[in-house]
Structure 1
Amino acid sequence: MIDRKPLRIVHCFRAPVGGIFRHVRDLIELQVRAGHQVGIICDASTGGEFEEAMLANLRDKLALGLERIAMQRQIGPGDAVAAFRTYKIIKKLQPDVLHGHGAKGGTYARLFGSLLRVFGSRVARFYSPHGGSLHFDPATLQGRIIFRVERMMERMTDRIIFVSAFEQGIYARKVGEPRCEFALIYNGLAESDFEPVVPKGGAADFLFIGEMRALKGPDIFINALAKAGTASGRKLTGVMVGDGKDRATLIEQSAKVQEDSEISFLMPMKAREAFRLAKVVVIPSRAEALPYIVLEALAAGQPVIASRVGGIPEILGESSPALVQPEAGELAARMATAIRDVAAYKQTLPGIEALKQKFSSEAMAARLETEYFSALDG
């Protein structure tokens, strides 16, 4: 890390769940270790007991505190109140760096960072999309409006930080080539993430872990597991770990295919604990930026099957046999192949050393710190 005066850094994001939350937690660990003062502003209505425990573990490390405000996913009447409260908190904290993650966090960080600059504060305004608004279709009216707003917001942005080349390319295609400074910084893993995880005795065949909503493809997993069972000539077992608005519907869906598969539903837990529950990890997402769960599973020595979407091919390699289209038929065929000989299938995946070289949390935090100081010096 750079030997300079410590920074006051505030991370702003909506939901303390999933990959964004993991990304922010990793950054905070390393930024605090480097001597910076860090704070969080996030949604108060999202997350369950697992997320509350993770936030509690962070609280003592946050010199600038943890502030939670009700933030809606979609734009609505409550945004005005949430925005006003967020601005008051940010103004009080007087950060050197405001780093917004996702669509809503990015909007707040850039708007309120710009407002602080009007009143004389020197604050760097950073934005990491993490997919977010980039998932929208530019052919729709909603998409066109969102991408026009993204374009306008560049005037209030000191740096856009992309986590994959795919994300950077999608931004250029849907919004346009950034007219502000930008950088590509891959998500990174700590050394402890590379300790192997061994599935326990009686482990299920396949694991889904993630938010229970359509974007993550849990419905695809359920249908594919049943089809793979039919192709394999035996009932396959699965574990689905997570929570979300579609959980009840997914449980109903799994009951309809129970003749061909057997699925257990568990609430959120640490990824490494979940890896012990099954032999193969499946990531059937319909859209992603650069998902941590793929990195975490590979680093822990777990075989994976993942959708050919977003930045996932940048992790596995463009020609990897682990990549499938996010639809049940192709996924089922790959699941049947993998479970037939898990050890042989695992040999086709990237090795640990290759992962370490490309996806390091130390390198991620160091590069981001360099961008912070560069923006403040500019």
Structure 2
Amino acid sequence: MPPAPPSAGEPAPARRERILHVFRAPVGGLFRHVLDVARLQVEAGHAVGIFCDSSTGGVRAEAVLGALAPRLALGLHRVPMRRNPHPLDVAALARLRRTIDRTAPTVLHGHGSKGGLFARLVPGPAGADTIRAYTPHGGSFNYRPGTALHRLYMTAEALLTRRTDVFLFESAYIAGRYRDSVGDTDRLIRIVQNGIDAAEFAPITPAAEPYDLVYIGELREAKGITVLFDAIARIRHGLGRRLSLLVVGSGPDEAVLRARAQSLGLADVIRFEPPQPIRDALCRGTVMVVPSFAESLPYVVLEAAAAAQPLVATRAGGIPEIFGPAAGVLVPPRDVESLAQAVLRKLDQDPEERRNEAAGLSAFIRTRFSMQRMAEGVIAGYRAARESRGARLGRGTLSGSSARPR
């Protein structure tokens, strides 16, 4: 027997969506974000699917996605994708179109530049009222303004805005970059910050003989690791002080970074290790350093701050949003001297004062960055986008209206 309709004055039952998340690489913070959101959406009764690259992520991605796959009502779909435009994109888009035809999603949610391109470019199910949501996670908005690549990608973003119902920016910083680089839009914009689980606030137990510093993340130029190496070299060769560093992660610049450590005379104090659970790595460093040039709202900072790990970080992207009232301690990106001074100041700080500062940041994180709030914000964004599109069409606005570039 079908459920009785709600009585007068009672709220209508929440709509159950059919959500297909589209992104490229199952690695890093973007992957964690999709996994967290997808799991919570499944638990809330929505039908969820994932469409992503099959050539990245390695055994960890295979294991995590394999464990989640039985819960994905719309299935797990993996095809080869490349980071930059590539002939393989045609085949991947064709596969995505077939997947959409079979699964009939009510929401296509693209993550990152490639996922956002695919989710907004591919035709939707015939006759369906499909919402197209886009979460950039930095992506194309992290290119330096004024460069040829930035102009190219911002032109593409302006054109793709015509096929976007809602932007779900994970930081106010990236939302600002959109406004500055693309312009005003009649499409819905929501800021839904990344969130973490209550269990991640459990304190960590420091290793018996920790490294002075630990870096955790991708090994690529935008993460600023060479500036960290230069700061350690300046401290060693200028002050005669030997600091040890544990580098945990993988990425396209690993060989370059190993050679850089060797050329700076730091091979004896820098140890490289592959990706591992973040808490296992955090306990092995006295201070975690995040020397990034560009970020959106990095999970690695949220996770470390929640665990009350002492931090030195740059004033990049959405990191000030994570630090809140403590953002004054952040250092300028690409500034070797400022980073070296901040590292020494944190290492030489009274241990009790250092612990208290870390505990204060952890308490701030607990009040602002909830995983449940993030998942609810995403669903609310879908719902508001559907209402906004109806109102826009009701006013006679064409569904193809575009952003107004400045």
The interval holding the TM-score normalised by the smaller chain is over 0.9
Tell me by how many angstroms 1:272 deviates.
1.6
Tell me by how many angstroms 1:374 deviates.
2.6
Does residue 293 (structure 1) correspond to residue 338 (structure 2)? The answer is no
Does residue 21 (structure 1) correspond to residue 31 (structure 2)? The answer is yes
CA contact (8 A) 2:323 2:361 kept: no
Tell me by how many angstroms 1:373 deviates.
2.2
Q: Higher mean Cα deviation, 316-325 or 240-249? A: 316-325
2:195 match: secondary structure: coil
Q: Higher mean Cα deviation, 338-347 or 95-104? A: 338-347
Query: How far apart, in 2, do the equivalents of 1:376 and 1:8 lie?
Result: 14
* Structure 1 residues 227 and 52: alpha-carbon distance in aligned structure 2, compared to 1, 3 A threshold: farther
Tell me by how many angstroms 1:367 deviates.
1.5
Does residue 40 (structure 1) correspond to residue 50 (structure 2)? The answer is yes
Query: How far apart, in 2, do the equivalents of 1:182 and 1:238 lie?
Result: 40
Corresponding residue number in structure 1 for 2:60:
50
Query: How far apart, in 2, do the equivalents of 1:7 and 1:257 lie?
Result: 54
Q: Gapped runs of 5+ residues in structure 1?
A: none
Corresponding residue number in structure 2 for 1:157:
164
Does residue 241 (structure 1) correspond to residue 255 (structure 2)? The answer is no
CA contact (8 A) 1:304 1:322 kept: no
Corresponding residue number in structure 1 for 2:397:
none
Query: How far apart, in 1, do the equivalents of 2:355 and 2:238 lie?
Result: 20
Provide the TM-score with structure 1 as the length reference: 0.93
Q: Which of 271, 278, 287 does residue 280 from structure 1 map onto?
A: 287
Tell me by how many angstroms 1:336 deviates.
1.0
2:115 match: secondary structure: helix
Residue by residue over 1:176-220, the C-alpha shift from the partner in whole angstroms, topping out at 9 and shown as x without a partner, is 123311101111111111111122111111111111110112222
Query: How far apart, in 2, do the equivalents of 1:265 and 1:97 lie?
Result: 41
Corresponding residue number in structure 2 for 1:180:
187
Tell me by how many angstroms 1:289 deviates.
0.7
Query: How far apart, in 2, do the equivalents of 1:210 and 1:333 lie?
Result: 22
Does residue 333 (structure 1) correspond to residue 341 (structure 2)? The answer is yes
Corresponding residue number in structure 2 for 1:30:
40
Corresponding residue number in structure 2 for 1:345:
354
Tell me by how many angstroms 1:230 deviates.
4.6
* Structure 1 residues 5 and 320: alpha-carbon distance in aligned structure 2, compared to 1, 3 A threshold: closer
1:73 match: secondary structure: coil
* Structure 1 residues 304 and 3: alpha-carbon distance in aligned structure 2, compared to 1, 3 A threshold: farther
* Structure 1 residues 142 and 243: alpha-carbon distance in aligned structure 2, compared to 1, 3 A threshold: same
For 1:100-111, what aligned pairs fall within 5 Å after superposition? 100-111=110-121
Tell me by how many angstroms 1:143 deviates.
2.2
2:275 match: secondary structure: coil
Query: How far apart, in 2, do the equivalents of 1:3 and 1:297 lie?
Result: 38
Does residue 307 (structure 1) correspond to residue 314 (structure 2)? The answer is yes
For 1:356-375, what aligned pairs fall within 5 Å after superposition? 356-375=366-385
* Structure 1 residues 351 and 326: alpha-carbon distance in aligned structure 2, compared to 1, 3 A threshold: closer
The amino acid across from 1:335 in the alignment is V
Percent identity between the two aligned chains: 40
1:169 match: secondary structure: helix
Q: Higher mean Cα deviation, 200-209 or 132-141? A: 132-141
Q: Which of 324, 327, 332 does residue 320 from structure 1 map onto?
A: 327
Q: Gapped runs of 5+ residues in structure 2?
A: 1-11, 391-406
Q: Which of 83, 87, 91 does residue 77 from structure 1 map onto?
A: 87
**Residue correspondences, number:** 374
CA contact (8 A) 2:314 2:333 kept: yes
The amino acid across from 1:330 in the alignment is S
Residue by residue over 1:330-372, the C-alpha shift from the partner in whole angstroms, topping out at 9 and shown as x without a partner, is 1111111111134423434543332111111111111211121
The amino acid across from 2:369 in the alignment is F
Residue by residue over 1:84-137, the C-alpha shift from the partner in whole angstroms, topping out at 9 and shown as x without a partner, is 11221222111111110011101111122xx225x2112110001111111224
* Structure 1 residues 263 and 313: alpha-carbon distance in aligned structure 2, compared to 1, 3 A threshold: same
CA contact (8 A) 1:225 1:236 kept: yes
Query: How far apart, in 2, do the equivalents of 1:186 and 1:259 lie?
Result: 37
Tell me by how many angstroms 1:64 deviates.
1.7
Query: How far apart, in 1, do the equivalents of 2:63 and 2:15 lie?
Result: 32
The amino acid across from 2:174 in the alignment is E
Tell me by how many angstroms 1:149 deviates.
1.6
Provide the TM-score with structure 2 as the length reference: 0.87
